[in-house]
């Protein structure tokens, strides 16, 4: 009897290959999502570094595109690259993504210009970096699903999902620390990880999954990318003032973009139901776990993105300045005070995937969603000038809930699809993830502006007049779009001196009044009450979203242990159509 030939540890048949795949894809997902949030907290340093005035209305679009451009590109392309991975090889597309990411990271760190030219350099190369991130995100989950047996898949997908979401939290911490040192370091940090990851992925990863033979769905790819791109572009410009309106939702270009985006997405659905080899099988939405799992993940992504955004505004614009921190140092200290959020996620995220393999995904996904909802309610009742232990506890609980939810949710979605559709399914899941993050900025910024607009003008006018500013000038400043005040708080900037400077009024006021108006306490105190009105609206809606996510997770019931054994047996024999029918029949049973 012939003895088996031993294989090296990087060989696809080596028993430890799955762990190599897990470690590499975990690095890739963490790197990609760190870069989706690292700019969020580093924008004050970046704007100072390239000499852009953040209070200039003409520069608002640069700020928004630096925030949303990366998310828009990844959301628009991740499904296409997932499907391309099904056709051409998941590892091949994943490896190429690492290379694109490494090259663009190097180029970003070398931005040669100042002002608007520097801003467009960063925006353009961030878009290229997002192309690489989309390739990685679309295929990492599918590579893991191919490499791991069903009974370990929840753990593997959980670690990968934890890495993805932890990256978005870690990006806040890393960005806060590095931007305090040098703004270019925000981009330098990706270079060694991108280069090492690219070399490692080419050396160690191999195709082990089922490759689907077919043709790329060009009409579907174009309509999907175009529709989603127009939709998110409309949201981006809807945040900017238009005419006498505080926001741009009445702008015909914004309305046209939103309508055209929705129309293209409807056309995409029609195309996908008629072409012979679609980019995405719309019939997968008939699988209850896939449809409801993605709905729950989408809502969780929106609420999580909104949480990060609002907490940064809260800390950088109000809480830290009122405690004597300089505006230049607020990004660093905001990242420090947000550590409980990250620690809560890291403490419970990795364990939830392993536990869900043993005890079922439903109880963890539902419990995690409910904990998140409760933490949002707690943040609503928390005073704006809070005691830090209470804030830290609520942030920690939100991280715990996100960690408990994320891994089981990823496992349920990916276990529900046939092997030849895993790349597309992974891409669609990451599209919901990235689209939710991008939409959260548009949705929650809009809701916050609505909350501010109700009380900020009167509060601002009264505060200025009370410190000697003539009523006519105070009235003009109070009539400015609230989005400008919100951006100032987001960037950790005191705008009062900049707003009053051109009028010359500061020169006519007593020194004591000038000291109060331009000090670190006046502006944060002034906007505290209007900010809390917006915060109540934002976190109230986020809590409702997580309750809906809990209900969706309850009904997205995973297969039982017996059924998973049957599926695992089918995977070993390559009987994919039978597996698909089995999973679908199990998931469509009444709860």
Summarised one tens digit per residue, pLDDT across range 193-202 is: 888 888 888 8
187 or 421, which is more confident: 187
Per residue in 238-260, pLDDT (tens digit) is 877 777 776 778 889 889 999 99
Q: What is the mean pLDDT of residues 499-510?
A: 75
Confidence label for 121 from pLDDT (cuts 50, 70 and 90): very high
Confidence label for 1 from pLDDT (cuts 50, 70 and 90): very low
Confidence label for 502 from pLDDT (cuts 50, 70 and 90): low
Percent of the chain with pLDDT over 90: 17
Residue 456 in this model has a pLDDT that exceeds 60: yes
Q: Which residue has the tokens 């700019």?
A: 39
298 or 217, which is more confident: 298
Residue 412 in this model has a pLDDT that exceeds 60: yes
Whole-angstrom CA distances from 91 to 33, 112, 297, 488 are: 19, 34, 25, 44
Give dist(CA 153, CA 473) in Å, integer: 63
Per residue in 34-80, pLDDT (tens digit) is 887 788 788 888 888 888 876 676 677 787 788 778 888 887 788 78
Give the chain's mean pLDDT. Answer: 80
Answer whether 82's CB lies under 8 Å from 139's CB: yes
* The pLDDT of residue 558: 52
What's the token pair of residue 175? Answer: 């960005």
Answer whether 342's CB lies under 8 Å from 170's CB: yes
Give dist(CA 342, CA 231) in Å, integer: 31
Quick one: 452 exposed, middle or buried, by C-beta within 10 A (0-12, 13-18, 19+)? buried
Give dist(CA 371, CA 48) in Å, integer: 39
Give dist(CA 79, CA 579) in Å, integer: 23
Q: What CATH number should be reported for the domain whose range is 17-216+279-452+529-558?
A: 1.20.1250.20
User: Which of 50-54, 266-270, 331-335 shows the lowest mean pLDDT across its residues?
Assistant: 50-54
Per residue in 357-385, pLDDT (tens digit) is 777 788 889 999 999 999 999 999 999 99
User: Taking the CB of residue 104, how many other CB atoms lie within 10 A of it?
Assistant: 25
Whole-angstrom CA distances from 438 to 40, 49, 234 are: 12, 25, 12
Whole-angstrom CA distances from 10 to 88, 92, 198, 510 are: 21, 16, 15, 74
* The pLDDT of residue 562: 39
Give 339's contacts (C-beta < 8 A, 6+ positions apart). 173
Whole-angstrom CA distances from 525 to 41, 320, 362, 375, 433 are: 22, 11, 44, 25, 35
The reported pTM is 0.77
User: Which of 300-304, 421-425, 495-499, 580-584 shows the lowest mean pLDDT across its residues?
Assistant: 580-584
| Element at 417 (helix H, strand E) | none
Q: How far is CA 562 from the centre of its chain?
A: 36
Packing angle between helix 422-466 and helix 522-555, nearest 10 degrees?
Answer: 150
Helix (H, G, I), strand (E, B) or coil at 279: coil
User: Taking the CB of residue 49, how many other CB atoms lie within 10 A of it?
Assistant: 18
Question: In the chain, where are the structural domains located?
Answer: 17-216+279-452+529-558, 219-278, 453-528
Q: How far is CA 114 from the centre of its chain?
A: 28
Tell me which residue of 119, 121, 4 sits closest to 64, measured CA to CA. Answer: 119
């Amino acid at each position: 009897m012939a003895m088996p030939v031993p294989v090296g540890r990087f060989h696809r048949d080596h028993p430890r290959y799955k762990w190599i795949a897990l470690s590499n894809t975990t690095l890739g997902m963490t790197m990609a999502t760190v870069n989706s949030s690292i700019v969020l907290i580093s924008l004050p340093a970046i704007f100072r570094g390239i000499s852009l005035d953040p209070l200039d209305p003409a520069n608002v679009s640069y700020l928004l595109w630096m925030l949303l451009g990366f998310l828009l590109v990844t959301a628009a392309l991740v499904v296409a690259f997932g499907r391309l991975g099904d056709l051409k090889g998941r590892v091949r597309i994943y490896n190429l993504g690492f290379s694109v990411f490494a090259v663009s990271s190097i180029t970003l760190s070398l931005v040669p210009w100042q002002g608007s030219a520097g801003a467009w350099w960063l925006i353009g190369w961030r878009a290229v970096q997002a192309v690489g991130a989309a390739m990685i995100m679309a295929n990492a989950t599918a590579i893991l699903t191919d490499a791991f047996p069903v009974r370990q898949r929840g753990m593997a997908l959980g670690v990968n999902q934890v890495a993805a979401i932890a990256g978005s939290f870690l990006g806040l911490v890393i960005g806060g620390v590095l931007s305090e040192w040098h703004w270019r370091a925000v981009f330098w940090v990706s270079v060694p990880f991108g280069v090492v990851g690219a070399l490692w992925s080419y050396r160690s990863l191999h195709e082990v999954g089922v490759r689907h033979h077919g043709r790329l769905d060009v009409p579907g790819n174009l309509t999907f990318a175009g529709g989603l791109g127009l939709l998110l572009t409309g949201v981006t410009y809807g945040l900017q003032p238009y005419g006498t309106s505080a926001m741009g939702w009445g702008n015909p270009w914004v309305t046209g973009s939103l309508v055209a985006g929705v129309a293209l997405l409807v056309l995409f659905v029609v195309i996908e139901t008629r072409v012979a080899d679609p980019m995405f099988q719309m019939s997968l939405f008939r699988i209850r776990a896939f449809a409801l799992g993605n709905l729950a993940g989408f809502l969780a992504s929106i609420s999580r993105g909104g949480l990060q955004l609002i907490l940064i505004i809260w800390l950088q614009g109000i809480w830290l300045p009122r405690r004597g921190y300089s505006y230049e140092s607020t990004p660093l200290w905001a990242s420090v005070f947000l550590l409980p959020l990250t620690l809560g996620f890291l403490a419970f995220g990795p364990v939830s995937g392993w536990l869900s393999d043993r005890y079922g995904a439903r109880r963890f996904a539902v419990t995690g969603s409910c904990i998140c909802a409760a933490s949002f309610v707690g943040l609503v009742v928390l005073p704006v000038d809070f005691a830090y232990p209470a804030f830290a506890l609520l942030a920690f609980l939100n991280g715990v809930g996100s960690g408990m939810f994320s891994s089981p949710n990823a496992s349920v979605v990916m276990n529900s699809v046939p092997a030849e559709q895993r790349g597309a399914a992974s891409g669609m899941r990451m599209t919901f993830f990235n689209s939710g993050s991008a939409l959260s900025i548009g949705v929650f910024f809009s809701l916050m502006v609505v909350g501010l607009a109700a009380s900020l003008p009167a509060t601002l006018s009264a505060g200025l007049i009370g410190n000697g500013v003539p009523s006519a000038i105070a009235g003009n400043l109070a009539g400015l779009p609230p989005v400008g005040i919100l951006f100032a708080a987001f960037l950790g900037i005191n705008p009062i001196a900049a707003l009053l400077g051109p009028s010359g009024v500061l020169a006519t006021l007593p020194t004591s009044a000038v000291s109060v108006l331009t000090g670190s306490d006046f502006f944060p105190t002034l906007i505290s009450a209007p900010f809390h009105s917006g915060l109540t609206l934002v976190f109230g809606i986020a809590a409702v979203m997580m309750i809906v996510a809990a209900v969706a997770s309850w009904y997205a019931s995973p297969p039982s242990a017996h059924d998973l054994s049957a599926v695992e047996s089918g995977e070993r024999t390559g009987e994919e159509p039978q597996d698909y029918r089995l999973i679908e029949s199990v998931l469509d049973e009444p709860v």
